[in-house]
Each structure stands twice: as C-alpha cells, then as structure tokens.
Amino acid sequence: MSVFGFVGLGNMGRPMAENLIKAGHDVRGYDVVDAIREQAAAAGITIADSANDAADGADVLITMLPKGEHVRAVLLAQDGPLTRLKPGGLVLDCSSIDVATSRDVHAAATEAGLLVLDAPVSGGVGGATAGTLTFMVGGSEAALAAAQPALDAMGSRIFHVGGAGAGQAVKACNQMVVGASLAATAEAFVLAEQLGLTPQSVFDVLSTSSGNTWALHNFTPRPGLVEGSAADNGYQAKFAAALLAKDLGLALSAAESAGVELVVGSSAKAQFDKLVAHDGSLDSSAVVKVIEVKS
C-alpha cells in the first residue's frame, strides 16, 4: 500500500482516485471546488484541506488538472506540494498540458530530489471508471518503475514514449485525431439528416462500416443512440468542449514550432472554438450544434 495525494477530482480525477482506493492504496484528495470535494468525499475519498496537505508525507502526488496554468499554480508554487512529498517520492502529472510546462515540472521535481513523469491519458470517463485508461508516459525508467502500481490500478495500457514531455507530445497528436474525427462525425450526422436520414440509421451504418470511429461511440452527437452518452443528458460534459479546444490548440502550437501544417486540425479547432464561444462547458459532442445549415 502507498499513500497518494491526488489534486483535481473532476470528471477524470475522481474515478481514477477511486480505483487507487480499490487497489488498496490510501488516497488524500483535493479540489478547489467545494461541490467536487463533497462528491469525492461521498465516493469514499479522504479530503485534504489543500494541495500541500494532500502531498504531505505522501509517496506519490497525482495531478489531474484542466490546463498547464493550473498545473503550474499547483506544482510550481513556492513552498508548494513538491516540498511536502516523502523524500524521493513520485510526481505523476496526468493532466493534458503543453510540453514546456511539463518540462518545467520535470525540472522542478528533479531539483527537489523527486521522481517525475508526465502521464496524460486516453479513454475518457468510461476508461477512468473502468480502470482501463491508456497512459502516455514521458520520463525516466526509474520513475516509471515507481509509478507502475499506480498506473496498473488506473489503466490497462502504458506506453513509455520518451523523456520529459514526450507523453504530452503524443497526447497532443492523439487529441488532434479525436477532435478531427469527432467534428467529421458530427458533420456526417447533420448532412445525413438534411438528406432525409434518421440519426439511428447513420449510427447503424457508420458503426459497422469504414466510417466507424472511437468518437462515434464515446462522443455520439445525437441522443438515443449510445446508452449514457452526454447527448442523452443534455450534453452535460464528460469531456468539456473547452478542454478539447485547449488540446487542439496544444497540437497546433506544437505543429507551428515543428513547422508542420495541420489543415484538418486547424478546421477542427475552428469548430470547437465556435462551440466554446457558445458554451465551452458543454460536452465536446455538442459540436453538432454549431454546424451550419444554410436553408
């Protein structure tokens, strides 16, 4: 059994923390939002008063925060959680963030005598709940060995893709693909509907044909097709549009620095930006709402 501090108990963080508890670990969680802390406490997570409290004497500190700025605010704070972990402890940042922030976290944690990995995930809330996430890991072999029990408790596939920030780089590529395929899937529904087809027939054909995608099943744009989809629940976020727009922005800035033109990625970003301008707290599948139909 290890002692974990867990900061960020939102859509992903709470089920991930619950799986650590199920695996027999002691988890102290913290989130800035009162209602989220209450939900986490109801799910059996011991609540800490601050990120520093969560990290105090812990073997591992996990962060699952929205953006790089939140990770900086927590992990790079003066006299922050990095000063509270057990000597030689591990920092596991599972948030999807920019490579530069991730490398700064690696440097600060290493300077503090800690092990550190960037370990963003794929698999959504379903994978977080089932403990079947895919982890994309950047960092040292020693840090990976220390992280193995935690990664096994929360996921089923672990890819060690390189050094500091490498997990974030491959995550940005993955998000570009999921954003583009979701935008294309939503466009297919709107187009087919305008051509007189029902959402059910579009789903039945795409899901068994070459148009099948992960997005079709996990970000189904229309209600009544996949049980438990966000569309069935008024597009209440499982993965907020603001977060997918952020991820597409990370892919585009990485592409700019690498000199690669992302035509499809840029178009997908424009669609999610439109949704964010309308309401970024909606689920990403609500992108279907911003597809224009000129009558």
With binding defined as CB under 6 A, does residue 47 bind ligand NAD? Answer: no
Regarding 11 and contact with ligand NAD (CB under 6 A), the answer is: yes
Q: Which of 36, 137, 190, 290 binds ligand NAD (CB under 6 A)?
A: 36
Active site residue 171: yes
Quote the CA–CA distance of 291 and 191 in Å, as a whole number: 9
Which residue number, 38 or 256, has a Cβ lying nearer to ligand NAD?
38
Number of C-beta neighbours around residue 1 at 10 A: 9
Residue 208: enclosing H or E segment and its boundaries?
none
Is residue 7 involved in binding ligand NAD (CB under 6 A)? yes
Whole-number Å distance between alpha carbons of 239 and 260: 27
Candidates 31, 93, 104, 283; binder of ligand NAD (CB under 6 A) is 31
| Range 257-262, long-range pairs (CB < 8 A, 24+ positions) | 262/176
**Are the C-beta atoms of residues 2 and 61 closer than 8 Å to each other?**
no
Amino acid at 43: A
Complex with ligand NAD: residue 20 or 202, whichever CB lies closer: 20
The distance of closest approach from Cβ of residue 33 to ligand NAD in the complex, given in angstroms and rounded to an integer, is 4
30 binds ligand NAD (CB under 6 A): yes
Distance, in Å, from the CA atom of 174 to the CA atom of 129, rounded to the nearest integer, reads 20
DSSP string, 56-80: TT-SEEEE--SSHHHHHHHHTSTT-
| Phi–psi pair at 133, nearest 5 degrees | -65, 155
User: Could you say which of 3, 5, 6, 10 contacts ligand NAD (CB under 6 A)?
Assistant: 10
User: What's the angle, vertex CA 214, arms to CA 157 and CA 206, rounded to 5?
Assistant: 150
Report if residue 66 touches ligand NAD, rule: CB under 6 A. yes
Using CB under 6 A, which of 4, 6, 13, 216 touches ligand NAD? 13
Rounded Cα distance, 119 and 105, in Å: 12
User: Binding marks (x or -) toward ligand NAD, 88..117, rule CB under 6 A?
Assistant: -------xx---------------------
Options 63-71, 177-185, 189-197, 203-211: segment touching ligand NAD (CB under 6 A):
63-71
Task: Provide the mask over 227-266, with x wherever binding to ligand NAD is found by CB under 6 A and - wherever it is not.
Answer: -----------xx---x---x-------------------
Q: Which stretch binds ligand NAD (CB under 6 A): 7-15, 206-214, 264-272, 274-282?
A: 7-15
The answer to whether the CB of 47 falls within 8 A of the CB of 23 is no
Closest to 151 (Cα-Cα) out of 102, 90, 99: 90
Q: Per this entry, what is the length of the chain? A: 295
Of the residues 2, 6, 8, 82, which one makes contact with ligand NAD according to CB under 6 A: 8
Pairing mode, strands 121-122 and 133-139:
antiparallel
Shortest Å distance, C-beta 89 to ligand NAD? 19
Binding positions for ligand NAD, rule: CB under 6 A: 7-13, 30-33, 36, 51, 64-66, 70, 73-74, 95-96, 121-122, 124-125, 238-239, 243, 247
Could you give the residue numbers annotated as active site?
171
